[in-house]
A and B are shown apart, each in its own frame.
Chain A
Amino acid sequence: MAAVISASGLSRHYGELKAVDQVSLEVEEGSLFGLLGPNGSGKTTMIRMLTGQVRPTSGSAHVLGIDVVANSVQVRQQIGIIPEQETPPSFLTAEEYLAFVGSIRKIPAVQEKADWWFDFLEFSDKRDVLCKDLSRGTRQKLMFAQAFLHRPVLALIDEPLINFDPVMQKTVKGYLKEYVRDGGTIFLSTHILEIAEEICSDVAIIHKGRLVHTGPVAGILGQQQHLADFFLEAVGKGSHA
């Protein structure tokens, strides 16, 4: 399998703070790769660097073979992104927002694709409501839809399930698994370990900006009962720490 994400010695420093420090990793095509870490460990900075939203202080990264620093717009053209915090523009309706994303990404027949997402994520009744008037969960559905609207081969998604109810979480997890089965690759950043354990094929654990583990989930579950125990050990908070 070819690596769709390849980072080498990637660092991002904010003054004295080393948000990400010398991280090297590879994500293989067709995997559902989970980046795990406590709050403030550097997960979001890592995603921002890999999507060209933040320039690394040092190191390099290639996504789908493209240099992220030199060609960030080209990278974002190819991939789908769900950011951790940003929400859709206040004064467009949900339907208009997907049309907007479609026109920026030059997606053909965007209306049909948008219709499919409204049905799949069960928010057709909100399609003509301004984004500012949508609930947090519905905004998250919209952000999910915009990331996958163009059927990218790779999606980098930051805490995508956090605002969903259990029913919607099940639907979305099912979609992600199917997406990977169909050949897509997911880079998922989360601190919800149960989700990672359930759907990820590989994980990396980042702690205080440094990568402390990377490998298949199956390997971890073979040694420990739960991913959570392994994670706590890795970040120095386990019972043996």
Chain B
Amino acid sequence: MRELFWAMMKEEWRLHATMFGSISFALFPVLIGAITFMGSLMLPLIGDIIPGQTLSFLVHAQFLLLGVMVGGFGLLGQEVMNRRFGQASLLAYSSRTLPLSDRTIFAVFVVKDTVYYVILWVLPVIAGITLAAPWSGLSLPFIGTLALTLTLSFLTGLAAVFLLSTLYARSMLLLAGVLAGGVLLSTLLLAATTFDPVLFFPPYALSRSFTLPLLLYSLTVIAVPFALAILFMTTEFPGREKHIPDRFSPLAGRLRRLHSGPMVAKDLLDLRRSGGLIGQTLFSFALPLALIWVTLVVLARVLPDARLLITFAGVAGIIGATIYTWVTEFDAIASYTFLPLGTRDLIRSKVTTFLLLQPLTLLAVLAGAIASGEYGSLLPAVVLALSVSVYAASVMVWLTGLWPAVMVYDVRVLAASMILIGPVLLGLIGLASISVLYAFGSALLLVPAYLLLRWSYRRWETWEKAFY
């Protein structure tokens, strides 16, 4: 077991490090630590604007979101499960050749993911906060508690998504039933009892009042989903041959006017049949956006001038850009290399598929408008969300080509994307808070987006690893 754990850790490290070099990847936690350090230095200033408890909630929510995204990233849908445990040549596949059960391997895999991403993300953040402590005024015991509760927040998100994705791999109906039951139970608890809503987020509750029962409650909320995920995990997907009529030809026919019609048709069928479209929409799109919405609503209470829908639209644009990751993640690029296609053709087809899926971003903004009642800002919000999404995706394409899911951990890529996207987004949200009409100006982002895509074609065409 210990050997398997270390082998999986090495495997995960090498998976990332081989793409862009060990040093560059090793610098990733350093960069995270440095950013947190600088952010912590500003705490005394921020504290004058945002109350400590609100700030604490935001940070815990971000770690919950991080856990959701890390978990959702790796364990989505049957195809990813298949790739992780079936076709992919990873150690997780070794149950068929080694005397280890699928369940044992999955348990070690869960522990590996937890340790790996805590080292990669959580510890650098804690280190950054600790180093800034002399200037931020945070006490070391407080930072110690924070280290624990932030880790627990991350694990809560990870555990929840592991359980949900396990249910999803078993049955969509089961997942829908559990989700509906959860919502119903929560509503009943809030309506019929004096249940404190803070207890829905145990690590945050623990950070507010550190007690042994709350600690046990937090650990239970993590341990139970993990245990259920391991207990009910499955790699035995239905093996019977399904006979499926040709859906490709009619779809490719409908898309024939697009330059990459056949490839886009294949991508859409891939996403639909692998379960990736529903899975990604749920775990990598709707769930993070719901968390962001809650965060923004909390923030709006202390920053009454903030325009909720516009801010949400900007962030939804960023999440919308990650749809480019979905369309590249579910495809093996090597399976195109013996066809008369260049990297340029592949990128162009993925971008086209990404654009065809942008109505999801539109729907998110529409949901935000309904929830906030800010219908007057709907049109500029939609323009902002779609423009930011296309721009951020084009930055992603330029920086990572066909491998956004892996190359995001290259410290240079991360830093460059933050520089290219962060100020633009903040500037647009800032301007739109003066007048929502400024949000229409975001359409200008389509110009650099177009140029970045053009440059990307040339840039990645000559990249050797493009094929492997």
A residues sitting closer than 8 Å to B (CB atoms) are 51, 53-55, 72-74, 76-77, 81-83, 85-93, 95-96, 99-101, 103-105, 126, 128-130, 132-133, 147
Interface-located stretch among B60-68, B267-275, B361-369: B267-275
User: What is the bound-complex CA distance between A103 and B341, given in angstroms?
Assistant: 12
Additional A-B contact list (16), CB under 8 Å, known A91-B269, A133-B241: A53-B337, A72-B342, A73-B345, A89-B270, A90-B82, A90-B274, A96-B247, A96-B248, A96-B269, A99-B248, A100-B248, A103-B261, A126-B241, A128-B243, A129-B243, A129-B244
Contact of B340 among A87, A92, A104, A128 (CB under 8 A): A104
Complex-state Cα separation, A53 to B464, whole angstroms: 9
Complex A-B: 19 CB contacts under 8 Å: A53-B337, A53-B338, A53-B467, A72-B342, A73-B345, A74-B340, A83-B338, A86-B334, A89-B335, A93-B248, A96-B247, A99-B249, A100-B252, A104-B339, A104-B341, A105-B340, A128-B244, A129-B242, A130-B273
Contacts A96-B246, A130-B242, A133-B241 given: A86-B335 contact, CB under 8 Å? yes
Docked-complex contact B338 and A133, CB < 8 angstroms:
no
Residue of A90, A104, A130 with most chain B CB atoms under a 10 A cut-off: A90
Report chain A residues within 8 Å CB of B423: none
The listed residue (A83, A86, A89, A133) touching B239 by CB distance below 8 A is: A133
How far apart sit A133 and B261, CA to CA, in the bound complex (Å)?
25
Considering only CB atoms and an 8 Å cut-off, how many residues of chain B contact the other chain? 36
CB B275 to nearest CB in A, in angstroms, measures 10
In B452-468, the 8 Å CB interface with A consists of 464, 467
Please indicate the chain B residues that have their CB under 8 angstroms from the CB of A88 in the complex.
335
Return the chain A residue nearest B462 by Cβ: A55
Name B residues whose Cβ lies closer than 8 Å to a Cβ of A. 79, 82, 87, 239, 241-249, 252, 261-263, 265-266, 269-270, 273-274, 331-332, 334-335, 337-342, 345, 464, 467
Chain A: minimal CB distance from B21 (Å)? 13
- Contact A128–B262 (Cβ < 8 Å): no
Given A54-B467, A92-B269 in contact, is the A86-B248 Cβ separation under 8 Å? no
Contacts A73-B340, A100-B262, A133-B241 hold; do A95 and B79 have CB atoms under 8 A apart? Answer: no
**Looking across the interface, which residue of chain B has its beta carbon closest to that of A95?**
B246
The residue in chain A whose Cβ has the minimal distance to the Cβ of B339 is A104
B337 touches A93 (CB 8 A): no
- Residues from chain B with a CB closer than 8 A to the CB of A101 are 339
Complex CA–CA separation, A92 to B345 (angstroms):
20
Given contacts A54-B467, A92-B269, contact A73 B246 (CB under 8 A): no
Query: Given A90-B274, A91-B274: A132 and B339 within 8 A (CB)?
Result: no
Report A43 CB to chain B, min CB distance, Å: 16
Min CB–CB distance A89 → chain B (angstroms): 6
What CA separation (Å) do A104 and B346 show in the bound complex? 12
Q: Which of B242, B266, B274 has the most CB of A within 10 A?
A: B266
B242-A100 in contact (CB<8A): no
Q: Indicate whether A77 sits within 8 Å of B337 (C-beta atoms), given known contacts A92-B269, A100-B262, A100-B266.
A: no
State the 9 A-B residue pairs at the shortest beta-carbon distance, nearest first.
Answer: A96-B248, A77-B340, A81-B338, A103-B262, A91-B273, A76-B340, A128-B243, A91-B270, A53-B337
CB distance from A120 to the nearest CB of B (A): 20
CB contacts (< 8 Å) of A103 on chain B: these are 252, 261-262
Q: Which residues of chain B are near A100, meaning CB under 8 Å?
A: 248, 252, 262, 265-266
Chain A residues with CB below 8 A from B467, complex form = 53-54
Q: CA of A104 to CA of B341 in the docked complex: distance in angstroms?
A: 8
* A residues near B331, Cβ cutoff 8 Å: 89
A89 and B246 contact, Cβ closer than 8 Å, known pairs A77-B340, A130-B273, A133-B241: no
- Which residues of B sit under 8 angstroms from A92, Cβ to Cβ? 248, 266, 269-270
Name which of A55, A81, A91, A130 has the most chain B CB atoms within 10 A of its CB: A91
Query: How many Å from the CB of B250 to the closest CB on chain A?
Result: 10
